[in-house]
Structure 1
Amino acid sequence: MNTTQSLRDGETLVSTGGSFELGFFTPAGSTSRYFGLWYKKSPQTVVWMANRGIPISNKFGTLNVTSQGILVLLNGTNNIVWSSNTSTTAQNPVAQLLDSGNLVVRDGNDNKAENFLWQSFDYPCDTLLPGMKLGSNLVTGLNRFLSSWKGKENPAPGQFTLGIDVQGYPQLILRKETRIMYRVGSWNGQYFTGFPELKPDPIYRFEFVFNRNEVYVKFELQNSSVFSRLTVIPSGLVQLFTWSHQTNDWYVFATAVVDQCENYALCGANARCDSNSSPVCDCLDGFIPKSPSEWDSQNWTGGCIRRTPLDCTDKDGFQSYTGVKLPDTSSSWYDDSFSLVECEGLCIQNCSCFAYANLDIRGRGSGCLRWFGDLMDTRRLAEGGQDIYIRLAASQSGVTGEKKRKKKTHAGVIGGAVILGSSILILGIVFCIRRRKHRKNGNVEDRKEEEMELPMFDLTTIEHATFNFSSSKKLGEGGFGAVYKGELIEGQEIAVKRLSKSSGQGLNEFKNEVLLIAKLQHRNLVKLLGCCIHEDEKMLIYEYMPNRSLDSFIFDPTRRKFLDWSKRTHIIDGIARGLLYLHQDSRLRIIHRDIKASNILLDNELNPKISDFGLARMFGGDQTEANTKRVVGTFGYMSPEYALDGHFSVKSDVFSFGVLVLEIVSGKKNRGFCHPDYNKNLLGHAWMLWFNGIPLELIDECFADSCTPSKALRCIHVALLCVQQRPEDRPNMSSVVLMLGSENPLPQPKQPGFFMGSNPPEKDTLSNKHQSHSANEVTVTLLQAR
């Protein structure tokens, strides 16, 4: 189908091989019309649809291809119901339904998949077809996940989603809204550890790809005559269906969730679930129930705690378990270059390492997977699974760690003793080097270094790297001190945050930032390389961001032009994913409390990275909010409940994110902006435009002609939802990420908080008892909240 053709309701498009058909349909029991594709042999089995959340009420819909290569779905009044997108232009755009079930838009006769302008395989609904990727492009941010129907008659996205969680070692997870319901597990080289039914057989071949650019799973059929699909049904079950040519119907080949042990963390921390035992939950060896009374009443969610604390020496041992579904890997560490023996050596040297296992079970096993902290969602499998080694105190393990490691020749690693000896020698050398560096910093206590678990740089090294903190190396200055560019002897570029001696950030804030960032690993968080403490000097050493901070682009009359619309949406999506990790997916729940444009750094590919964790607060697993008398943050980004009452939560960061999105879209600062016609700041201006039905007038004029109006409107819509007055009205970051990445209808926003005009200068702080805030938007600290 080309630009001169339309596909009207009642007409269909069939793939070349006759496997799939494309057109308008009505689900059973419904009167609404949807545009989608289905199996030619099974018209009731719809595998993809365009307008699943926005039905058409009559039979006058049409699908067109524009000259830009965009698919446009129109209703009877020629209003756009749904459209695709593309970042490139085409001379002769053509829409084609492939026999794989992939609806693609290509340029003329160019059939190379990497050159497709758009493809439905990138936007799955509830079904994974052979050849379709499920996972994320780590460069573009595209996330492919499955979402169930709301019901048998309603194809709108339902409560259940299946996708790959990229925190720690990637794993396949089923969620009900934001709550993890079932963890399929991590890939062990043959299958996901919690779904051994997916191991290779004569019909299916599953493939898992994980590299610096992307992470995904897909499956292929060994026999092209077989029809098969993996679907998340409305009840939340994940099922693999195969077509029977004898009965002309589908049958269930495998179901992922089959018993109560598949309920995520049913037994709590440091326990193992076994559906063939009674009771099904049991503490791991060396652990006892945290609450014996609740455990006896079969409430296992509190989990287990150690019977005896670890010795944190090489006398600790490891208890092996075979045939298990490995614990949650979201806080794990992995490396495919280490053997199992080397992996044990690494684990025993780190007191926070609780367990280790092979990354890949093929052959004799390879790679190293280590867990830090409590072990969640471990279960015994009737078949499949793999071995894991869980750390115990020497007094609990029966034999010392040293003796147990000597006995572990059954691990099948040839030459283990030689490798282990070499590992110990290397570790000893590293230890000596670290001790030597420590002695150069005579006033740095052992406890601080152990606490931070980061490389300690000596002052001489940093002075040499920055030309003795030369003004020519100065990148900028914030509320807590200056930042310098440096270069280590080996050539690595670094950024040095040198805290001012008069800074409000004392040793506690400094250690807070070190401890927090050291435990956080995400592509949208700045990487902390180490720190330096020497007498009154306190410094943090980061990876160097060549493009500096976001504010140097979006608020600069010249540089703003370098951030076109696609780059800005990429930055918005990256910040959202970084905040989602902090709020939900990291081992610790972190409230940043100072999200602003100057704290978003850009690498050489303009990927955003959240920085400056000096004001961040760590919450416990169940804690979601807190109060403080010490209000910290930046005017213009603080939420009302935080600025006025000292009440902060994840919703405080959501408010700041909403302000930041409006700044990115408009190119204007919230603080200091005042519309000439009505006394409103940027939030008030955006709200008035929205209220009057002209929100797109907010868009920065430098890219107004090149942006995608529907995407821009969605960003503004989501931002206004984030800056609503009441915290309970704002979405959480998991919902924000879903809203930004989908085309589903959104609720109408309510009036923003702080949407009036700029205050007079004398009232420009949260409390006029304090000094007024300077124009460079440095972070402020107020000791009393009203």
Structure 2
Amino acid sequence: MELTVLLASSLMLCFSIVSTTASILDTIVPGQSIKDGETIISTGRSFELGFFSPGTSTNRYLGIWYKKYATGTVVWVANRETPLLDHSGVLNFTSQGVLHLRDGVNGGIVWSSANLTKPPKNPTALLLDSGNFVVRDGNLKTSNVDYLWQSFDYPTDTTLPGMKLGRNLATGMDWSLTSWKSPNDPARGEFSLGIDPRGYPQLVLKQGNNTIYRAGPWNGNRWTGSPKQQSNSVYDYWFVFNEREVYFAFELINESLLSRYTVTASGATGRFNWKDDRRGWVTYFLMGADQCDIFAKCGPTAMCDIDGTNYCNCLDGFRPGSPADWAVRDWSGGCTTKGPLGRCRKGEGFVRLQKVKLPDTSGSWFDRNLSLKECRQRCLTNCSCTAYSSLDVTRGGSGCLLWFGGLVDLRAYPDNGQDLYVRVDASYLASIKKKKRKVVGMRIAVLISLVAVVVTVIVLGWRLCLGKIKQRYQGKKKYRARKGSNNDDLELPMFDFTTITSATNNFSDDYKLGEGGFGPVYKGTLCDGQVIAVKRLATSSGQGLEEFKNEVVLISKLQHRNLVRLLGCCIEGDERMLVYEYMPNKSLDHFIFDESRSKLLDWQRRIDIIEGISRGLLYLHQDSRLRIIHRDLKTSNVLLDIDMNPKISDFGMARMFGGDQTEACTSRVVGTFGYMAPEYAIDGLFSMKSDIFSFGVLVLEVLSGRKNRGFFTSDHGLNLLGHVWKLWMEEKPLELVKEEQRQIVVSDSRLAALIKRHIHVGLLCVQQEPEDRPNMSTVVLMLGGDSLLPDPKPPGFFAERKVPETDSSSSYNKSRSIGEITVTEFIPR
């Protein structure tokens, strides 16, 4: 899950230090001071403490930053709210063990560590290799319980290994993170991450006083609202909750690595690991990666499902509180019960929701000693109780967690969710039992019918029976493919060539849907009425058996609502065919580049299509059990189903990454000009960031209705990317919208802001340097959020020469050119 982070301005907080006149080792003693220009360095040279100016600011702050690696990344600031205006600052250490930061001009105290209740006999101040700046009594042991004061108790925007994120319930000390106001100002910003101790404690991200993301309560293994953490060799983590304190902490398994938890000035929050070969931070995990992570998006008693047709749906037994609002996709009002509930009426009970993120626990009640059966009874006898669940899922489950009132911030989590038991009224339970009885009756009837059929078949003759069994077996034989040294056997239904021929009317031109680099695609109808799309490998195709196997290997393992579904394949003689679900609305380019059909895509539909593609790409890059680079993402490879939902297709050129791999190099560059990232087209270097570039091109094409390769400004020699960049620099991005639609956009301030944001994200995705582009989890977060976005840098390939225009996927060797297409035809920035 290591993806390079876009928000470098927030993560890599560069600063300036005046020429260092002296560096003290790692310790200062009473009477000793640190002046601006002097620093202390931890024993292992991991961290340094001194004065710095963030970004372009001239203000001076006392802080701690990485020394050996990631130089310039600040992890702690003392006087974040009271900057020094010049270089006269001095840090003094008193005999009472107190640190004073003074303004050297007027002598006033700008910042001070806590006064100690019991003065130490021999105090020392020490910068540890953990990044913790501590005051201790030199006569005592050096464990953290003996520290008289430590910077770890006063975090700013970063949690380091061994640092607590939570709260001391005895003293009220709050160990929460607060973002910087901006990359140039470390004062408290609007975003904060901490543990909400109300009810059963849970991890929450806030913007001001409003919760914007909730990781949920701890269930013994992890936060119930965070994606499943795979076993890793990077860090170990734990959660502590007792009468004295509640906190989350982590330790590095490999201490040579750098890893931190950070809240950036723009609100991007998660774990970031240092990659020395890239000289930058990469994302290991990011909070709030999709629409369903938005707190209370669906309102109370409703479920958010990122893979559903609609994001929000009422729980079984409930209905929309305001059908009119739901009709316009405003789900904030949530759902209400269909019948009377909450008065302990006879017949009330519970339905089980499987694999969900548990709802908001800020108003919950819990008991660690109750069993799940006792928990059910406790909820049933409390007329205000609306749901219950296990508190701890380890060792078979234990403890009791009860909810009262609306169930807020529910979402489906098929990979790692938890069971929740929701209270429903008697009439709904009765209807469920009636349906079950009906289903049981139907199953018995079907079973009797099947027995009768079997007996009839036996009576008709064993030869007919054997023939049918043989035919059935052949129809279900499996294609077993192996890719490279990977010995994972793949099983797919095998279609007979005769069946495909019959379904496509012998590959009639009337059934032909289109043609790409792989070969022609036909519409077909199976004997059972199912409509399919058949992709047939052409004998003259530039792609061959390897691409065919590649597509089978990859897409057979992928399941997502925004990826096209592979139904099977056909291999007979020289024939190679893939059978897909049929997409009645063809491909995205069929609509956006056609004057008449483009009118069928209103702005909300275009936004939904962009966000659907982003979720599909996020699944490929991060959420699937594989890590897939598509390498040929473009509008013609995005298909639209009957409801105009986008589905990414054509995985013949895709590549699978494994382990910690983030990029690869190839001598055979494949893809489509106009969508290729510069580093891929020129050097053959591809990564998730090359897919991000293609996605950015696609976003700008959808918003403008113009092709990147087909658009050319004779006055400036710019393609679509260059045109968008020019409009952005002139602060008139909405002129990207076609003139006949521009008035509609300008007259709707909400829509105008939404389109500007999507143009902004598109430009961030097509930046020249891969490390500047966001990863897909950040893209999804930016598309669906309203936090400030960083300024984009110029795009790659924004000037274009006259190159033969084609939308077909192409391939070539870096060492030579094919035909008129050469890699040097592009002019990078």
Structure 1 length-normalised TM: 0.50
TM-score (structure 2 length as normaliser):
0.47
Greater RCO (CA < 8 Å, at least 6 residues apart): 2
